[in-house]
Chains A and B, each alone.
Chain A
Amino acid sequence: MKPKIYILLLILYLSLNLAAQEKYKISSNYKDVPFTDFVSGVESILPVKFFYMDEWVKDLKIGDYPDCTSLSCVMDNLLRETTLYYYIDRSGNVVITNNYAVKITATTVEKNNKFLPPTDYSSSAENQRTAGNTSVEIGNPAEKNKPGNVIISGYITNKDTKEPVPGVTLFIQNLAAGTISNEYGFYTLTLPRGVHILQFSFMGMREKMVNLNLYGTGELNVDMNSVMIPLKETVVSAQKSVTLQRFEVGAEKINITSFKLLPTSMGESDIIKSVLLIPGVQSVGEGSAGFNVRGGSADQNLILLYGTPIYNSSHFFGFFSAVNSDIIKDVTLYKGGIPSRYGGRISSVLDIVSREGNRKEFAGNAGISPITTHISVEGPIIKDTLTYILTARTTYSNWIFGLIRDPALHKSRASFYDLNGKVTYDLNKNNKIDFSAYTSHDAFRFNSDTVYSYNNNIFAVKWRHFFNSRFFSSLSVNNSSYNYDITSQYLPSEAFVLSHKINSSGLKTDFNWFLGRNEINFGLDLTRYSISPGSYLPLSNSSLVIPRTIEKERAWESALYIDDKLLLTDFLSVNIGMRMSSFFSLGPQSVMIYNPEQSKSKSTVIDTLNFKSGEITSKYAGPEFRVSLNFRISDKNSIKINYNRTRQYLHLLSNSTSISPTDTWKLSDYYLKPQIGDQVALGFYEMLFKNNFEVSAEIYYKEIRNMVDFKGGTNLIMDENIEKDIVNVRGKAYGLELVLKKTEGKIRYSIGYTYSRTFVKSLSAFSDEIINSGKWFPANFDKPNDLVVTFNYLFSRRLSFSSNYTWSTGRPITYPIATYRVGDKLMVTYSDRNEYRIPDYSRLDLSLRVSGNLKSHKIAHPYWTFSVYNVLGRQNVYSIYFKKEGDMVKGYKLSVFGRAIPSVTFSFDF
């Protein structure tokens, strides 16, 4: 038996077509008829009378609404993008208002309400986008005079697809209180009893208002309508007021509909490229895989797809992201304030949340551009219960090689594809299971004798169980692997195949418990790694190559975490969390012991330790504290403070400036200690001008211990004892990030400026391990000034324009300072590491998107995207290198995109 509390369960289908209005049927089609003619037509056949000002409607024409059979449906469609609202009263008067809506109350609010006065609707047009806010009563009206707060909670689902909608902002303007729905679409909110207007907003969804008469604790489940044409939303990141609500300093959410409109470099929407527009995120240059968050190296970012780490996040050496944007629902980047449920990388978490298949009907999308094509299909297998989504993408860039007459290039090939699939099954109301899979493949063949290829494979199963309406759990099992192979038959006597592979299997459980003013999360993370660092094998019998395989690495990483989001007062909330992580690397393994008095090298080996199978070769463990404080000064601004520690046991060995295709993954071991990062951040956020503008300022300071650098000129491929080439370095970074955003209206823009510095210092005492005499020096990705401006203009629902501009200081570089001769060979010697800088970087991109007819029930919705990357044609320097030519050492600037790159993509939804 349930406790004796009145729970009024209301499932709201808040559409505009309220039942009362359906009595006015319209049979004829008024397509392209001026509004005034439509009015006289309708007034002649229906018992209605229209009231409006002529000037409001003089340009208004009825469109083609093939499925509209009622007056309200026509009116809804007609007024959708105008400032006009309408209201049909019981006696058939159709009142049109400009700039504010007339409200319909389903229940009457008692006049002698003593706690909060009913809202004055006429003055708050801002809050009432839709005609017909619905009123809801929760609790027993008899308790209305009781003092104190009550809790409401519920699920938010997409009305069309029945998918839960995570990340919806719930906000009560008068109280400046609010929350965000969690990954299951669940929310919980503690409010004083009384009359409130609860606003639900989410990008790509029609904003929704509910008039709440709150008497007691209860549930409110809400369906939200998605906006039919995704064109409507174009702004990257935070919905208004979300920023004030989130605990994390430095969490950025990117919605798929917004980043799909960003200008593209090669006709493909690219998630990593839109991440680079976020202040605090930088890359060492165009076409480089990976990104740097707040002074962290590229391997310090945890990139999650289906909650599973992906080890190579790019295709084509970094020119495309590895994940097809068709499968992405949204993406959150945590550059600070990393929640305790994430761990294993120290700088950031990029959580790519995948879509679920449409629960109602079959749908799809396809697109084609000069070098890539992609397609996605989705739909129910069992309506509302079992759904699927499949996406595929491939390139046909080989035709370009075919066009080149140069014999070597003519025979060269480069290709990639990726496939994503997800099946979601609702066993019952409380149990959901989904299966997800991802595979990607890249291959390059040079002159038909040397082939380089790599693959990513991910598989994940997730079971979500709802114990009750405030206690959830999820259990997932996943596997992710990445491998590359290089085969060469250039010389038969040296034909070889070189391979590297990393495989990880994970088990993850998460529990969310909503307990009054607390939201408690806890769980367990367990990962097993196995890495084949490298094997080098002969490819044929005539090859003289000695087969050689570097010993496998195996390890377990485990973590227990717990955190509590606690609403201390209405204006102060804290999030305290701890993650206890540990790492065990296992034998069999042989470990070289070096003379501690000397720099590690082959000649200073004094002993070898042999560990047996299953024996622990090294173990590391430590707590990671994550604390955030959110102080809301008023309903317009807030301050957040945050500290977090992160530990990383997996490292990418790279001694080039950007991630290179031959970089290998390496686990912490006897010598290689885990990297530890500590970050403190402080943020200030303010909404201006009716919440249309958002400004924020964040500062951070970060320290990283046990970072990995390498002795000069070392090659890392097939290096068996990597510890002898490693230099232990320490890093520190600090920065200021300023953002101004306009997030409403036809013109939207954002301006972000970052000042940040990142330094590195070598710690060893041995001469060949000291970089720059042991002083702090700028890291490879230290780019102090960084400006990003985005601008969007929605001309109409069929035409939108989008642009972004980036300017940043050039990255540091090491220059040669002197030359000398060895025989007739001219040699150069270099300056201190990163003593100089390449020129500043500047780039402007534009894109224009044109949609075909917007009829909602046409078979396919086509749209064209025209994009120009680097419109200014600036030759941004990627690197400067020096080469001797004859008697001189000459410097060269290498630019990846030396001119403007136009592209066209044709896509259609079906």
Chain B
Amino acid sequence: MVTKCKCMVKLFKLLNKVLLFAFLILISSCIEQFIPLVGEDKDIIVVEGLITDQPGQNIIKLSLSLPLGGKDAAKPLIGCIVTISDDIGNNYSLHETVSGTYIADPAFQGVVGRSYTLRIATNESHQNLSYQSSPVLMKPVPPIDSIYYDKIVLSRMSDGWPSGEGCQIYLNTHDPENICRFYRWEYVETWKFQIPYSVPNNQCWASSNSDKINIKSTSTFSSDRIEKHPINYITNTTDRLKIRYSILVNQYSLNENEYIYWEKLQNIVEQVGSLYDITPASIPSNILCIEKPNENVLGYFSVSAVKSKRIFINDNFNGIANPYSSCEDFIVTGSKPIPNLGVSVWVLISHSVPPPPYRVVTYSKGCYDCTVRGTKIEPEFWIDAR
């Protein structure tokens, strides 16, 4: 039996939202930031687990939830016993390497067609509770056919004139056997950037991970084929596209239950702000506390096969922002030593000719040293443009 068409739902929700937003602008609606005063501070266990068919990528992270609005560091849940078992009686225990991060043996890799169950036993700091997931089947995933992009012409809201170009990255994939049907994607983007001054560390690489849930189902399509599926959109307000950009996309197979979990999470976390938001609620996980079945568990034990693909983008995009435009804080003239030079002021440009010599300096270390935002070490996969 076919399931609901999530893609259409998503598309409609998009339409609904944009349309309403447009209409609301016309009749002078308004959106204002608001900070809620919520007194509660609950510690809820968070399980972030992914078992794949690749070795070395099998990690379970355990932590406690964080209060709203705070920028507190994650609270890892240490000292737990974490095991994974499959449906033919194999047991694998995971080892805590970093606090709260439990890693399977580097040789372990999931097998397509097997079902896996996660078990967690916490220590006395978390009341010696035990948790267990339902068994999850690993489904095969087809390779990514292609990753490509379109230039998006941006226009100013006020008069509609083009103000620059953004980059929309898409993906195509298909499963000739029509088995996979439910997909999830993650990406890692890496870009080279340069400080426009002749400072020692002026060329680095920065990277960032996907921060949105990206899923799709083809269960209502006659063939398991996905075309032009949006993966990431890069605005021209960053300098990602200025020199050279690369994106690695991981494509995961999902079970229908996990797909529904992500979809519900997306509904209440990301697709908000229209007049017709779905009433928020907590989304049940596939992990239960044995001793307290009503306890809320956050996160999901995912079991997925994975395929990856990387592309590089080296293109001219109009109107890319220059994050260093406000670097030049002040100019020191004369030949006298710069006062207080050292800890917090850096020289960006020095001219000695024509006299008198002067120096352009900055208070911001990021303007002087690219390693504040990235790393000087060229990533292994990096290939510079010819």
Contacts and interface: CB of A to CB of B under 8 A. Distances in A.
A414 interface: yes
A820 B282 CA distance: 13
A887 B272 CA distance: 17
A601 to B, nearest CB: 9
Contacts of B2: 546, 548
Given A719-B4, A895-B29, A658 B36 contact: no
Nearest to A285: B275
A86 to B, nearest CB: 53
B15 A488 contact: yes
B298 A715 contact: no
Given A544-B223, A767-B293, A830 B281 contact: yes
Contacts of A897: 27-29
B278 A655 contact: yes
Contacts of B294: 767, 770, 773
A448 interface: no
Interface in B271-291: 272-273, 275-284
B386 interface: no
A827 B283 CA distance: 11
A723 to B, nearest CB: 14
A444 B19 contact: yes
A99 interface: no
A858 B71 CA distance: 73
Nearest to B213: A825
Nearest to A544: B221
Contacts of A491: 227-228
Contact of A893 (B31, B158, B272, B284): B31
A444 B26 CA distance: 14
A892 B31 contact: yes
Contact of B30 (A316, A821, A875): A875
Interface stretch (A197-205, A680-688, A878-886): A878-886
Contact of A830 (B6, B19, B48, B268): B268
Contact of A718 (B4, B209, B225, B281): B4
B343 interface: no
A895 B218 CA distance: 37
Nearest to A833: B281
Q: Specify which of B15, B66, B69, B257 lies most central, judged by the most chain A CB atoms within 10 Å of its CB.
A: B15
A555 B222 CA distance: 33
Interface string A806-817: 000000001111
Contacts of B44: 818, 820, 829
The A contact surface, by secondary structure, is mixed
Contact of B282 (A657, A712, A882, A896): A712
A712 to B, nearest CB: 3
Given A494-B8, A661-B16, A829 B65 contact: yes
A446 B268 contact: no
A404 B158 CA distance: 8
Contacts of B278: 655-656, 713-715
Nearest to B262: A822
Interface stretch (A405-413, A514-522, A569-577, A846-854): A405-413
Q: How large is the interface on A (under 10, 10 to 19, 20 to 34, 35 or more residues)?
A: 35 or more
Interface string B246-285: 0000000000110000011101111011011111111110
B179 interface: no
A888 interface: yes
B166 interface: no
A499 to B, nearest CB: 12
A816 B68 contact: yes
A829 B296 CA distance: 10
Given A767-B293, A815-B36, A892-B33, A899 B28 contact: yes
Contacts of B19: 412, 444, 446, 452
Interface in A891-905: 891-899, 901
Contact of A717 (B9, B71, B270): B9
Interface string A648-662: 000000011110111
A817 B38 contact: yes
B24 A655 contact: no
B8 A717 contact: yes
Given A715-B6, A899-B28, A317 B42 contact: no
B276 A656 contact: yes
A288 B275 contact: yes
Contacts of B270: 883-884
B124 interface: no
B349 interface: no
Contact of B28 (A316, A712, A898): A898
A889 interface: yes
Contact of B8 (A660, A711, A718, A890): A718
A408 B152 CA distance: 13
Contacts of A407: 155, 160
A602 interface: yes
Contacts of A764: none
A871 interface: no
Most buried by B among A409, A412, A780, A901: A409
Given A446-B19, A814-B279, A882-B272, 8 more contacts: A408-B22, A661-B16, A712-B281, A715-B9, A816-B68, A822-B299, A884-B269, A898-B28
6 contacts: A488-B11, A545-B221, A822-B46, A829-B282, A883-B270, A899-B30
List 9 A-B pairs, minimum CB-CB distance, nearest first. Answer: A712-B281, A405-B160, A713-B264, A898-B30, A660-B276, A818-B65, A824-B209, A656-B276, A881-B272
